[in-house]
Structure 1
Amino acid sequence: MSGVMTTLLDLADLPEVDIPSGPLEAARNSLFDWMVCGHAGSSEPVAQKMRAFMQAEGGAGVASVFGGGLAPARMAALVNGTISHAIDFDDTHFAHVGHLSVGIYPAALAAGEAEGATKSQIIAAFLLGAEAAIRVGLVLGNGHYNRGFHQTATAGAFGATLAAGRLMGLSRAQMRAALGLCATRASGLKSQFGTMGKPLNAGIAASNGVEAAQLARLGMTSCEDGLMGAQGFVATHSDAPQPDVAPVGEWIFPAISYKFHACCHGTHAMIEGLRALLPLAPETIETITLRTNPRWLSVCNIAKPATGLEVKFSYAWLAAMVFMGRDTGAFGSYTDAAAGEAALGDIARRVAVSGDAELSDMQAEGAVVLTDGTRLGFAYDLAKGSDACALSERLIAKSRALLGDAASRLDPVLSASDVPAAELGQHIRTGI
């Protein structure tokens, strides 16, 4: 059995008392943000379709679903994963190259409700599952994502399996089998971006995790190492795997990045950097130069967006929105009319974007040159994050912006106090 599989099994076995408070706090923040995004997406068209699919299939209702109702654990994970990624406003981990909460928390909550777990147990299971998913993502390497796989769904499914299996009380042998079964189920393609298939990818990760854990508990067998073994997941899904993984006890998840702008996460470092230069009158700007990691040039560098959706993937237009005082955190800012607005286009034409391999996925640097020749440099690194108090305030402000005054009903989720999973489930069904 490979060292990677051994590390994942050791993560699954780690006692909760051995987990530091810092990583647990980060996971608690992500639980809150995930629930906010789930409620915000619960009326989206894809959410309505998923609940209709759930009702048509039926089954014993043991786990809660955004928008109301109970479903079998596997189905609840599928529905909640999809719904919570519907507005694409959830957290991102750049080492993992994907969204962790939407693929793992739905599995953890569904399994936790079914097994009568507590909030603290669900948070710990999520955290360890997220650590596993990040490690699998790093093993797969950038080539996996660049080839067209959506790591939220592929690497994320292994994290969902570990989280669900831990809450189901799987033995070490059963967990190994569950991860092996996940290897033959994990899937998800970037070709689905821009369609309802993208949020479904998150639901697939969560559903696969619950299903693999349930089957392993029933005694379903699997190959010895479905992840790293011959013709296993890594061998068939990566050209240049990186098999050296961080040991248990080295916490990677706390570098998680939250979305505070309703656009591609690759643009957020630029937005934060430019915001630091405000106030700055648009008519005083001569040029804006931006350097970003080359990865983003094919993702969010649409020079002339034709739709509101494309505005979310346009460095130039987003830079213009910052200087025009538009709220980049509001969904209402990204309209088709904004894509054709002359005032935004006038500023956007002054923006020049280039790739810089020395910058990480989370960094942006550049300069704004004014008409009088003044040069104002800017730089921002999302990895630096915010202090705990400031982060909580921003997450709460985000919840109010998305959900209004009703968001205050979710504030207790940020508390360190423990409650039964059933109480979290009630927040899912009726919290807003």
Structure 2
Amino acid sequence: MSDFRPDTVSGKLVAFMRAAQRDGLPDEVRHEAKRLFLNQLKASVAATEQDAVRLLHDWALDTAQGGRGAHVHWFGTELPPALAAMVNGALYEVLDFHDTYIPCFMHAVSGVLPAVLAQAEVGSASGRDLVTALAIGVEVELAVARLLMPTGYYRGMVPAGLTGGVGAAAGCALLRGLDDARTQHAIGIAMCTPAGIYESAGSHTLAYVTSLAARSGYDAAALAERGFTAPPTAFEGDQGMFKTHSDEDRGKIAGVIDTLGQEWRILGQTYKVVPTETITHGPVECALAILPRAAGRLVARMDYRVQAIVVSIADGRRERFGRPGSVGQATFDLRHCAAAAWLRGRFTTAETQVACYTDPDVVALSDRVFLTADPDRPTFEGCSLLVTFTDGSTEDHNVDAFLGTPGARVPDATLTDLLEQYGADLPAGRARAIADAIWALDDAASIAPLAALIRKD
């Protein structure tokens, strides 16, 4: 195909991809891609019993009709690559324990990694090629997200549903060795077919949105390789992605695109150390910091000062759901998470289960959690908490950057520790072996040995 259009947004994204391939990725970018891979595994290892995952996995088995090629994490099931990408996408998403790119309110890796993993597995790619495809795919996705956010999010769209397929298509196109024109078409196909609204939060469908993003990107590259076409102006055209999915100023397009390869947005990722929505991490961290000082005193109320959007999101969820009535709703309820962390002295997957969110003490305390918008908080990386006890005494704590944000970076070893913690049912030594294999990907001739490790038997 010879219809490549280098003057368009998709064409400039392809040019960035080629430059990154030619010049090589910075060492810190390659390392971050491996950290993000490991992070997704600790986010998914405890998710196999979640209803959304089980339902999707069983559907994929029925749909596959014996097809094979790529593996579903932890189950060990072999499926056609597009279906494996879907189920792995749900595994990454369902516990909300993955990455967050806070400037765009999004989980960038969960749509890209399943697709490039499936493509790498069926294409017998090297570990180094997988890391390259993941890093470049995420970078393409984050550039598009920066162009669409925050107004795409304010419209009610799931950011990763909008852009995950674009990043996945870019990464899969690299692994397939597509030329410039076909790569542009792959990206354009994904730009024309985004999906996902935030009304899905608290239901199985939010995990399915990520599944669709992963499959969209995988299929887009496969179709483009066969000669399937998309408009080169899929992003900036009069009826393109930019106009239909955001209210941003067109003037920002050049500024974002021109910084590709100079500003690596992948390095701005936030990692989660507790399995719950990003806006709850600061509040949970504050509660656990004050708890040892409580010395048995009973809580009268917990007053948080947070970024204004946190109040809007948390209040909106309470208006929609009331008190949590499911695991998904508990995961997305800030007041529940704060109360559960205080009363249980921790926050793990157990604190999102029915025994916790129906506990009368947790319910009662959650009703005494109050949120006030703090105009001095530019993001939800920080917050403050004032706990007032029934005897009138108080304790307070402030967090400017909760653990996991770029300002409070999670050590590599902690990611492995979390994989061990949440993968307690893995065979002895398996979590360490998986982590070691990820760190060694640049020297791996194939990802098959790693894929064989990511299972529970």
Q: Distance in 2 between matches of 1:340 and 1:217?
A: 51
Task: State the shift of 1:165 in Å.
Answer: 0.6
**Partner residue of 1:72 out of 76, 80, 84:** 80
- Counterpart position of 2:351: 333
Counterpart check, 1:399 vs 2:412: no
Counterpart check, 1:254 vs 2:278: no
Gaps of 5+ in 2: 1-5
Q: What amino acid is the match of 1:295?
A: I
Q: Is the 8 A contact 1:287 1:369 kept in 2?
A: yes
Counterpart check, 1:138 vs 2:152: no
**Partner residue of 1:361 out of 380, 388, 392:** 380
- Counterpart position of 2:93: 85
Q: Distance in 2 between matches of 1:219 and 1:424?
A: 32
Q: Which whole-Å deviations, capped at 9, do the CAs of 1:222-252 have from their partners, x for residues lacking one?
A: 2122111221111111122442313323111
Evaluate the alpha carbon distance shift between residue 350 and residue 206 of structure 1 in structure 2; reply closer, same or farther with a 3 A threshold: closer
- Counterpart position of 1:316: 335
* SS of residue paired to 1:361: coil
For residues 122-137 of structure 1, the aligned pairs below 5 Å read 122-137=130-145
Q: Distance in 2 between matches of 1:135 and 1:415?
A: 26
Q: Distance in 2 between matches of 1:7 and 1:361?
A: 32
Q: What amino acid is the match of 2:208?
A: L
For residues 17-416 of structure 1, the aligned pairs below 5 Å read 18-55=24-61, 56-58=63-65, 60-66=67-73, 67-241=75-249, 242-243=252-253, 244-245=255-256, 246-281=259-294, 283=297, 287-301=301-315, 305-307=323-325, 309=327, 310-329=329-348, 331-345=349-363, 347-359=365-377, 360-369=379-388, 371=391, 373=393, 376-382=396-402, 383-387=405-409, 391-404=411-424, 406=426, 407-416=431-440
Q: Distance in 1 between matches of 2:140 and 2:59?
A: 30
Q: Is the 8 A contact 2:76 2:456 kept in 1?
A: no
Q: Is the 8 A contact 2:269 2:406 kept in 1?
A: no
Evaluate the alpha carbon distance shift between residue 18 and residue 283 of structure 1 in structure 2; reply closer, same or farther with a 3 A threshold: same
Q: Distance in 2 between matches of 1:71 and 1:219?
A: 25
Q: Distance in 2 between matches of 1:340 and 1:49?
A: 25
- Counterpart position of 1:5: 10
Q: Distance in 2 between matches of 1:148 and 1:91?
A: 20
Q: Which whole-Å deviations, capped at 9, do the CAs of 1:322-349 have from their partners, x for residues lacking one?
A: 33343212x1223444334444455445
Q: What amino acid is the match of 1:408?
A: R
Figure out how many residues of one structure are paired with residues of the other and give that number.
Answer: 428
Evaluate the alpha carbon distance shift between residue 48 and residue 333 of structure 1 in structure 2; reply closer, same or farther with a 3 A threshold: closer
| Worse-matched range after superposition: 411-420 or 86-95 | 411-420
Q: Which whole-Å deviations, capped at 9, do the CAs of 1:253-284 have from their partners, x for residues lacking one?
A: 12212222222211101222333334122516
Q: Is the 8 A contact 1:77 1:110 kept in 2?
A: yes
Q: What amino acid is the match of 2:65?
A: G
* SS of residue paired to 1:367: strand
Q: Distance in 2 between matches of 1:397 and 1:181?
A: 39
Instruction: Say what the alpha-carbon RMSD is for the aligned residues.
Output: 2.6
- TM-score of the pair, normalised by structure 2: 0.85
* SS of residue paired to 1:283: coil
* SS of residue paired to 2:273: coil
* SS of residue paired to 1:152: helix
| Worse-matched range after superposition: 212-221 or 202-211 | 212-221
Q: Distance in 2 between matches of 1:259 and 1:345?
A: 24
Q: Is the 8 A contact 1:51 1:79 kept in 2?
A: yes
Evaluate the alpha carbon distance shift between residue 339 and residue 237 of structure 1 in structure 2; reply closer, same or farther with a 3 A threshold: same
- TM-score of the pair, normalised by structure 1: 0.89
Q: Is the 8 A contact 1:74 1:211 kept in 2?
A: yes
Evaluate the alpha carbon distance shift between residue 405 and residue 380 of structure 1 in structure 2; reply closer, same or farther with a 3 A threshold: farther
Percent identity between the two aligned chains: 22
Q: What amino acid is the match of 1:22?
A: E
Q: Which whole-Å deviations, capped at 9, do the CAs of 1:265-305 have from their partners, x for residues lacking one?
A: 11101222333334122516565321212222233356772
Q: Distance in 2 between matches of 1:343 and 1:197?
A: 30
